[in-house]
Amino acid sequence: MFERRLRSWTGLVLAVYVISHLANHTLGLLSLDMMEWFRRLNASLWQHPVGTVALYGSLLTHFLLALWSLYRRRTLRMPLWETTQFALGLLLPFLLAAHVIGTRINQILLGFDVTYPYVVTILWNDPRYSIQQPLLVLVVWGHLTVGLHFWLRIKSWYERLVPYLYGLAVLLPALALLGFVRAGLETDELITDPDTVRAIFAGWNAATPEQQALIIGLEAKVLASLVLVLVGVLVARQIRQLLRDRHSSYRISHPSGQVVSAPIGQTILEAMRAAGIPHASVCGGRARCTTCRVRVGDGIDDLAKPSALESVALRRIGAAPNVRLACQTRPRQDVSITPLVPARADARAAYRRGGVQGYEQQVATMFIDLRGSTKLGEERFPYDVVFILNQFFAEMAASLQATRGHYAQFSGDGLMALYGLESGIEDGCRDALKGAVDMNRRLTALNERLGVELREPLRIGIGIHCGEAIVGTMGPPSSPNLSAIGDNINIAARLEALTKDYDCTLVVSAVAAQCAGVDLSRFPAHQARVRGRDEPVDVYAISDPAEISGDIVDRHPTAMKDSQ
């Protein structure tokens, strides 16, 4: 995380400098004097000791971080935008060397103020620099804008500003280059006067031949050093790969049916790229978005815990425990993965929570339905119905809270609740039975309160079943909810519907009763047929849930106190 922040902050410092410098160039459209006036103003910041350290420290740090990133990369296969930014970044020092030496180094070693007339005259009249300088502007600006775009595009507000920023991204370098051309044409007139030429080059001419030779020869030495450093990093990277490949590898099973083998130490994203399998990664694999996220199946228990950087990103989207970032996860054992975002996803998918992101878990499921709600709507005005339903759901919600249930879904006149999400399946089944008892008690009290408002008492049907389900965040991106899906969820819904057939309040599966450690054999037993299942489900039909309250062994005595 520190490295990422360091790259961002140094990049921002350099971006501010580049923008102010190009803005300075645009004043060349007016005159060299205007360029020089703004340069002196700009120099008060960047040539101040603090500004100098910030600027050149950021430049050096940013370059070293790029080399470190190159060294660490397991594969050089990258998306086009990332390749472009990386290539432009490595090219920059080679184009920038002559410019820095001719300006800042000149000023430090020779002790004279390097003015715009001096710099523009040299650049405009030297065939090499007249081409290299515009190329430097385009490379710097290209690297900066690509980096800023892929940094900001995951921000929610960025898309609205793109049309304006795009105009700025095109206009600023264009105006800066036109300003350079206009200033160059002005120097053509200046150099016709020998006195003006002597004044422009007075500082350089005052230097000794040895000092001039040092400055002139410095560029070749700097360029040679840059080449050696870059080659050294590439060689070190290759040696590292050879040493790494000697160690064992792991395999990734992909939903496409492909099995990718990768050396230990390589991230899942790097392995996908090396194998040529498209995989989403809006931020380029820096954990600044979550588009590379995958659901891990086999091998999830063998993975190291998420780093602080990965944990922050996963918490931001409320990811399930079996969801990891492919760019940060380095397996040491075989794993199977399922990408959760399409390979060509855009920035809007970075923090999207929609869809199903779940994990398998044993849960107890309860469905509650208010009987006769249609008739109630026919007999009452809509506002009266809303009032009664609000009272009903308030009591059901209070019961869920008192018995450690989790509200999962709402369906007009009923709801779905989950138990055992944190306590385990046995406690979950016991809590679900306690919830049924408490809901029935609260409904009786509600009927007494409403009294004359009702022509007949409110009645409910409750179905309880347990088993494995997919639990996770589901629903539209704007309002996701923790819920569950699966065959056992459907069975619980079917049991609630059977309360009408059995003319009772509660239908509990034998599996749920056994899991809760409750003997319900004294109640009517049935074999319920459930659509989609060949085998019937053994259930118990209970007319009055209060009759089972004494059968539930309460391992959490405080759970029901709030409901009393």
Question: Both 307 and 158 in a single domain?
Answer: no
Backbone angles phi, psi at 336, to 5 degrees: -115, 135
- The phi, psi pair for 535, rounded to 5°, reads -90, 140
Considering the domain architecture, whether residues 56 and 197 belong to the same structural domain is answered as yes
Is there a single domain that holds both residue 174 and residue 278? no
Q: 């990386």: which residue's tokens?
A: 86
Question: Cα–Cα–Cα angle for 11, 15, 20, nearest 5°?
Answer: 155
Residue 346's pLDDT is what?
59
Residues 302, 429 within the same domain: no
**Smallest Cα–Cα separation from 438: which of 394, 400, 392, 393?**
400
CA distance 356 to 422: 20
Q: Which of 331, 349, 367 is the last residue of a domain?
A: 349
pLDDT on residue 35: 93
Q: Are 378 and 539 in contact (CB under 8 A)?
A: no
Q: How many Å apart are CA 404 and CA 122, to the nearest integer?
A: 78
CA 484 to CA 307: how far, in whole Å? Answer: 28
Amino acid 560: pLDDT: 42
Confidence (pLDDT) at 247: 63
> Which residues, 6 or more positions from 31, have their beta carbon under 8 angstroms from its beta carbon?
186
Provide the token pair at 564. Answer: 């009393």
Q: Are residues 178 and 301 in the same domain?
A: no
Domain end: 224, 242, 260, which one?
242
Instruction: Check if the beta carbon of residue 491 is closer than 8 Å to that of residue 470.
Output: no
End-to-end CA distance of the chain: 50
Give the pLDDT of residue 345.
Answer: 63
Residue of 345, 340, 358, 338 lying closest to 252 (CA atoms): 338
Q: What is the DSSP string of 367-433?
A: EEEEETHHHHHHHS-HHHHHHHHHHHHHHHHHHHHHTTEEEEEE-SSEEEEEE-TTT-HHHHHHHHH
66's tokens? 């790029």
- Cα separation, 461 vs 495, in Å, equals 9
Other Cβ atoms closer than 10 A to 563: 17
Q: Give me the CATH number covering residue 313.
A: 3.10.20.30
Which residue range(s) make up the domain with 271?
A: 249-349
What is the crossing angle of helices 158-190 and 32-46, to 10°?
120
pTM of the model: 0.53
Residue 552: per-residue pLDDT? 82
Q: What would the two tokens of residue 367 be?
A: 């469905």
> Which among 349, 372, 393 is the end of a domain?
349
Domain count, the chain: 3
Distinct helix (H) and strand (E) counts, the chain: 18, 13
Q: 144 near 246, Cβ under 8 Å?
A: no
Q: How far is CA 293 from CA 199, 321, 470, in A?
A: 63, 12, 18
- CA atoms 435, 437, 438, 444: torsion sign: positive
How far apart CA 187 and CA 181 sit, in angstroms, is 10
Q: What is the pLDDT of residue 152?
A: 79
Same domain, 370 and 503: yes
Contacts of 18 (CB under 8 A, 6+ apart): 140, 141, 144
Is 510:540 a contact under the CB 8 Å cutoff?
A: yes
Q: Answer for the pair 463, 499: CB distance below 8 angstroms, yes or no.
A: yes
Q: Tell me what pLDDT residue 421 has.
A: 87
- In the numeric block, which tokens belong to residue 198? 């002597």
Note whether 256 and 227 are same-domain residues.
no
The label of the residue with tokens 């105006």 reads: 175
Identify the H or E element spanning 326: none
The predicted structure's pLDDT at residue 356: 47
Q: Are residues 273 and 386 in the same domain?
A: no
CA distance 291 to 181: 44
HEC profile of 201-254: CHHHHCCCHHHHHHHHHHHHHHHHHHHHHHHHHHHHHHHHHHHHHCCCEEEEEC
Residue 285 shares a structural domain with residue 221? no
Tens of pLDDT, residue by residue over 283-311, are 777 777 888 888 898 888 889 999 888 88
Cβ within 8 Å of residue 108, ≥6 positions away? none
Q: How far is CA 434 from the centre of its chain?
A: 40
Q: Are residues 15 and 85 in the same domain?
A: yes
158-159-160 Cα angle (round to 5): 90
Query: Looking at residue 78, which CATH number applies to its domain?
Result: 1.20.1300
Residues 217 and 267 in one domain: no
- Does one domain contain both 219 and 202? yes
| CA distances to 367, 463, 494 from 371, in Å | 13, 13, 15
**Average pLDDT, consecutive stretches of 10 residues, N- to C-terminus, the chain (564 residues):** 80 92 94 92 90 92 89 76 84 90 88 89 89 91 87 76 88 94 91 90 90 90 93 88 73 87 87 86 78 88 89 82 90 89 63 54 93 67 77 91 89 87 90 95 90 80 93 66 85 93 94 94 90 85 92 56 43
β-pair type (459-474, 506-509): parallel
